[in-house]
Amino acid sequence: KRSIISCIAACAAMCLSYAQPKALGGTFSFCGIGISYEHNLSQGCFLQADVRAETTEFFMNRTDRPGISASFTSNFILKEITPRNDNSIVFFAGPGISIGKAHDFHKDNGYFFGLKGRAGVECCFDRNVSISLSLNPLLGSHMVLHEDHAEMKYYKNGLLNVIMPEIGIKHMF
């Protein structure tokens, strides 16, 4: 709970800074539904913080409630195309981290943490709206606490994000 509160506090601190353009919106995929915040650092880099409900096992009817996670990525703009009318298409990729609590593939509820990647394309329109499509693999560990021991294995649902694209819709301000 402390790490999730820390991530939310970091997002709030970024919202209070006013020097660079920002975006706030939602992300949707089979693996999760969440709230996303972007903060542009420079012309070639932006930070993204996400808080989301982990829904993989929930949608497969293996659990009665979704998990929760928080992630942070530093994305680098690989190519930007500006066809006309201040619309742009941005190709990006970057590393990050993720932490949360959720069920893993045929496993009990437990804590996960690991390294996250993000690669995708974002279309920014002159009406202050952006739509993105990205892949977000997570290479991490999943720890289940039992009464007499702890079981730690790799987080299989994090690897599902490689093949499950995520759609994002954000308002730029």
Residue listed under structure tokens 């021991």: 149
**What is the pLDDT at residue 19?**
46
Tell whether pTM > 0.75. Answer: yes
Per-residue pLDDT of 123-154, as tens digits, reads: 999 889 999 999 999 999 999 998 899 999 99
The helix (run of H) or strand (run of E) holding residue 108 is none
Torsion of CA 136, 163, 55, 101, to 10 degrees: -50
Per-residue pLDDT of 68-97, as tens digits, reads: 999 999 999 999 998 878 789 999 999 999
CA–CA distances in Å: residue 134 to residues 65, 76, 85, 151 = 25, 13, 24, 31
DSSP at 159: H
